[in-house]
Amino acid sequence: MTDIQSYLKAYDGQPLRLMEVCGTHTAQISRCGITGMLSPAIRMISGPGCPVCVTVTAYIDRLVALSMEPENVVATFGDMLRVPGGSQSLNDAKAAGGHVRMVYSPLDTLKLAADDPARTYIFAAVGFETTAPVYAMLLEEAVSNGISNVKILTSLKTMPPVIDWICKNQGGVDGFLAPGHVSVITGSRIFEPLSEKYGIPFAVAGFEGPQILAAIYALVRKSGKAGVMNLYPGAVTEEGNRTAQKMVDKYFTPCDAAWRGMGSIPDSGLLLREDYARFDAGSAGLNDDRGANARCRCAQVLTGAISPNECPLFGSACTPQTPQGACMVSMEGSCYNYFTNMRKR
């Protein structure tokens, strides 16, 4: 490890921009102080791997509207409460009389629904390949227990299409720290076509500081060449978790999905299959993405086009207390992490 650290600190080759796609990687890189351990020639940039951050405002607006209907209760994770929609967050809706419940697990929604049959409980099902199986389990439980007053509003996305979008539209990425949690489900092989297509390396990484450093080292050594390196073999296989994949296939089907700041990307989302449409709270067509503050540049941050502190609102109008965009809300958000750790690069 000392050799790797010395190499990364002393590296003076071609400047490299490496993207950590996953929000948990972003948080860990900040938490371990990793950017300060790298040569100035190696720059880490955050990608679109925080599920809250890539959610468009139309989705939040729909949740807000649902919460204001007396027969509904919107159930959600804590960080979703503060994400600004077009004009309101779920917290604002709650203060205005909306029915919003924070839960710690999607499955908690089932109990709430079973205990209160007069109302419909709508879970805000946000996430990537990692969380989609959990929502499939929720539906499986609802079906097998005959709970009919639970629904989900989906904003489910898949990783390979958005990485493709970044390479095609943004470019300038010399390697990807591939998302570890996503890879547990999908398997590492899923990144091979992209690696070949753009001739850049992918390293699947775990979440400990040394694992991240090892992955960065692998990417630097392999820069300019294609290849998927699995540096998280304890948790990630080439094929992924077949059982979880089958569960997701049973309930969801690919669809076009809108990503914050990137617009609609073909086949980059998951929607409930026709057979289970009765559980859908209106997820299709939520594409509008007009934030309350037009100067918010989350979109460019999410695609690595700018660093969070290059946004004119960063640290002034936009702080974790007064977030203007989703990236400043989530603990995995790039802006939140740069702000709370005073990261400069």
* Whether the Cβ atoms of residue 26 and residue 332 lie closer than 8 Å to each other: yes
Reduced DSSP (H G I as helix, E B as strand, rest coil) percent helix, strand, coil of the chain, to 5: 40, 20, 40
33/285 with CB nearer another protein: 33
Q: How far is the CB of 204 from another protein (least distance, A)?
A: 16
Question: Cα–chain-centroid distance for residue 71?
Answer: 30
Question: How far is Cα 266 from Cα 244, in angstroms, rounded to an integer?
Answer: 23
Radius of gyration of the chain (CA): 20
* Whether the Cβ atoms of residue 52 and residue 27 lie closer than 8 Å to each other: no
135/279 with CB nearer another protein: 135
Question: How far is Cα 51 from Cα 131, in angstroms, rounded to an integer?
Answer: 10
Q: How far is the CB of 225 from another protein (least distance, A)?
A: 27
1/284 with CB nearer another protein: 1
78/193 with CB nearer another protein: 78
Q: How far is the CB of 152 from another protein (least distance, A)?
A: 14
Q: How far is the CB of 104 from another protein (least distance, A)?
A: 4
Helices (H), 187-241: 192-198, 209-221
Q: List contacts with another protein (CB under 8 A).
A: 1, 5, 23-24, 27, 30-34, 36-37, 51-52, 77-80, 82, 102, 104-105, 126-128, 130-131, 181, 209-210, 213, 319-321, 329-332, 336, 339-342
Q: How far is the CB of 23 from another protein (least distance, A)?
A: 8
70/104 with CB nearer another protein: 104
23/48 with CB nearer another protein: 23
31/246 with CB nearer another protein: 31
Residue carrying structure tokens 């049959």: 117
Structure tokens at 79: 């960080």
Q: How far is the CB of 27 from another protein (least distance, A)?
A: 7
Q: How far is the CB of 180 from another protein (least distance, A)?
A: 11
What does DSSP say about strands 42-49 and 16-22: parallel, antiparallel, or unpaired?
parallel
Q: Which is nearest to 25 in space by CA: 261, 259, 314, 334?
A: 334
Which residues touch 303 (CB under 8 Å, ≥6 apart)?
47, 48, 166, 169, 170, 261, 262
